[in-house]
Structure 1
Amino acid sequence: MKFAYTIVYVASVPETLAFYEAAFGLTCRFLHESGQYGELETGSTVLAFATHEVAEANLGGHYKPVTVEGVVIGIELAFATVDVVAAYHKAVSAGAAPLRPPANKPWGQTVAYVRSREGMLIELCTPMGGS
């Protein structure tokens, strides 16, 4: 078994891809001509987005979308970088909601949290082991 991809269901795939490009410096690797599915270039595991309509069709009504209202859901997307402070400020400048500013953790990482425009919890962190 190999972890293949994560799909976040959103209102607008093109707008979400543009936000992740501006906020986190990622690049779009694929956007379907329908605009209902897209992927970011993130390395060996794909981060993808699909519309709420795709989720409804795939899951037959057994679906609750992520929203920006209320508390965050119990999952996060984590992006590793050597400069968490700069990444945090870039994300907030691009429209991410600040949740927790960069802080040094006892296990050696620097970690910060923001919330993306569609409501996902995003962790910005230094790589484990400091490199």
Structure 2
Amino acid sequence: MAFNLKPVFGYTVVYVKNVAKSVDFYAKASGYNVHRLYESHRWGELESGQSTIAFTPKHQLETDKLTGAVPRSDRERPPMGLCFVYSHVDTAYKRAVSVSQPENKEWGQRVGYVRDIDGITVRMEAMFTHQNKLDLKPNKLLLLLKLIS
């Protein structure tokens, strides 16, 4: 019997300082629904449409022992990143914590970088078409808002 060994993408795990605060932050910023937040606050999930964004503490005995510790220094960049696509990058960027202002890239896309409440760098970009033209169709995601009024 032949098996299909092509996997289906399950979810992205983001290692954070405080699971409940991060779940709340991303839910408010994006409008995504909270799918799950355990009472222990050791795991939380948001439904993002096609996939799930999961949050768990940076340091846990069971995972640090098995897979190695997450970098302890806030100055170390984690070996993964998040990227969210917007209909208007510049407007979304103005409501976020700046790292690098949006700029037009040589391949025709507008890209900028921001930080979340844990200092994680997140890429923000305009929708992209195969013809290297910006596609500004509406997108329901507005992530990484400064939640401080």
**Same fold by TM-score, threshold 0.5 exceeded?**
yes
SS at match of 2:95: helix
Q: Percent identity?
A: 32
- Unmatched 5+ stretches in structure 1: 93-97
What is the CA deviation profile of residues 71-113 of structure 1, one whole-angstrom value per residue up to 9, with x for unaligned ones? 4233210000111111112223xxxxx1101111121211110
Superposed structure 1 runs of 4+ greater than 6 Å apart: none
Q: CA deviation at 1:65?
A: 4.1
SS at match of 1:70: coil
SS at match of 1:28: strand
Structure 1 counterpart of 2:65: 60
Q: CA deviation at 1:25?
A: 4.1
Structure having the higher helix fraction is 1
2:75 to 58, 70, 73: 70
In structure 1, C-alpha distance between the alignment counterparts of 2:110 and 2:16, rounded to whole Å: 29
SS at match of 1:128: coil
In structure 1, C-alpha distance between the alignment counterparts of 2:31 and 2:91, rounded to whole Å: 12
Structure 2 counterpart of 1:29: 35
Q: CA deviation at 1:120?
A: 1.6
Where does 1:80-91 land on structure 2 (aligned, <5 Å)? 80-91=85-96
- The answer to whether 1:11 aligns with 2:17 is yes
Amino acid at match of 1:76: G
SS at match of 2:114: strand
- The answer to whether 1:42 aligns with 2:48 is yes
- Max Rg structure: 2
Structure having the higher strand fraction is 1
TM-align CA RMSD? 2.1
81-90 or 26-35: bigger deviation: 26-35
- The answer to whether 1:120 aligns with 2:126 is no
Amino acid at match of 1:75: M
Matched residues, number: 124
Question: Cα–Cα, structure 1 residues 108 and 85, in superposed 2: closer, same or farther, change >3 Å?
Answer: same
8 Å contact kept, 2:64–2:70: no
